[in-house]
Amino acid sequence: MTGAELISIEPATGTQLWTGTIGDVDRDVAAARAAWPEWASRPFTVRVELMRRFANVVRARAEEFADLIARETGKPMWEARNEIEAVIGKVDISVAAYAERTSNRKLEGALGARNALRHKPHGVLGVLGPFSFPAQLPNGHIVPALLAGNAVVFKPSEKTPASGKLLVDCYHAAGIPAGVVRFLAGGPAEGQSLATHPGLDGLLFTGSARAGLLLHRQFAEVPNRILTLELGGNNPIVVWDTPDIHAAAVVVVQSAFLSAGQRCTAARRLIVRDGHHRPLVEAIGALIDRLIVAEPHETPAPFMGPVIDNEAADLVQEKVVELILRGGQPIKHLNRPIASRPFLTPALIDVTNVAQRPDEEIFGPVLQMVRVPDFATAIAEANATRFGLAASLLGGNPQLYDQFWANIRAGIVNWNRPTNGTPANAPFGGTGLSGNHRPGGFYAADHCAYPVASSETELIRASIGVGLRDA
């Protein structure tokens, strides 16, 4: 496929946005390998300064960058601007994380020895990014990797290559050498080729659980390479004994439908107490009816735009039909107002009576409601998934939240907050099919360098006290 064209289409309008040439994996990995030794040998302070220049470049191009993300993903401009702010903020957060998680340290030694703990970069790391946050999420891998002294080959999603290209252009404009950060345009074939390339020392991946499982199997044969998996979730949000129904409904809607439901932390399952759920359902329904679903630059600003493309919209519709055929009761129907475009209105479906509910991540604006008789059953229902990324409890009291926190199986556990409310200075990751226990966020520094323990003295001092014959 090298030399062929890759085309990016605006999901909201169907307009061609960007064209580029599919890259050469061997060439880009070779360029990164050649550039890596000099980059790794630069003082950490130099790398920090260059990364701060990168943040300033992005800041100067923020509106242009946000506009491109909005057009390429379909997300509203306000959300694209928030993404750019996260890209800029990642630099200072990563510098702090490096100092806390992977800094050089002196340790106590015996007999005058100096014991030290230092960290070395792995070498050349591949980064595979998703379309949902085409700048923020890959940047969350790339910045810590560069600070640690790695070189990076970055392949963005084939659905958002223009945003990925602009991100890499900003690195180069800041003075980071072209060989140290490589942009690789391509589709699944190029992603597979990069992931399995013998010139890589590791892969940092954000994407679907299915792709993550395949990568995990492949990397089982190369334990010398680092693999980090940030995958999806079938995330529960439990609403229990809350006095403020409207506020709970707002948090549920934010959790489920921001980014048209295309967030790995989006709430997929709403768990409520049977018999006490009707006021909440009515409040959620009233909010859904008011949500503006439109093109990213519309006025007034939309709450959400389309899903990424018609293929994705078709799949979401098929999954909803499947739920209904299994016995799900639509409370708010999933509608597609423009048949030729991937706009979808939010759906709320009661699946309490659906036997053997599919445990999968429907990557779109679909929220499934399950009614349960008591809180113990609510926790059991929340844990009835192979995933374990995010979970949230709305309502209750500190004792109930303690019970929830202690028993829920997830890497992100919130109280009276959305499932997608994760602080930038905290680790980000999950259990089960949501990851491989290498969280990103603040802990990304952990998998961008490896520890080296040293015992050092200026003179050799040694003796053998036992086990020798007399001289």
By the 8 A CB rule, do 64 and 159 touch? Answer: no
* 442: number of Cβ within 10 Å: 20
By the 8 A CB rule, do 391 and 235 touch? Answer: yes
Annotation marks residue 264 as catalytic = yes
d(CA 307, CA 312): 7
Name residue 326's beta-bridge partners: none
Which candidate in 79, 158, 264, 381 is catalytic? 264
Q: Which one-letter amino acid corresponds to residue 380?
A: A
Query: Among the residues of 132-208, which ranges form H helices?
Result: 136-148, 161-173, 188-195
Structure token digits, residue 383: 């844990």
Q: Which one-letter amino acid corresponds to residue 125?
A: L
Structure token digits, residue 141: 């891998």
What letter does residue 22 receive in the DSSP assignment?
A: -
User: How much of the chain is helix, strand and coil, in % rounded to 5?
Assistant: 40, 20, 40
Structure token digits, residue 26: 């061997």
Q: Is 462 exposed, middle or buried (0-12, 13-18, 19+ CB in 10 A)?
A: exposed
Which candidate in 72, 83, 230, 295 is catalytic? 230
- By C-alpha distance, which of 266, 290, 311 is closest to 11? 311
d(CA 36, CA 180): 6
CB contact burial 305-318 (16+ within 10 A = b; e otherwise) = bbbbbbebbeebbe
d(CA 288, CA 416): 20
Q: Which one-letter amino acid corresponds to residue 288?
A: I
Helix (H) or strand (E) holding 288: helix 278-290
- By C-alpha distance, which of 332, 331, 329, 388 is closest to 353? 329
Peptide bond connecting 300 to the previous residue in cis, omega within 30 degrees of 0: yes
Annotation marks residue 170 as catalytic = no
d(CA 238, CA 369): 10
- Positions annotated as catalytic residues are 230, 264
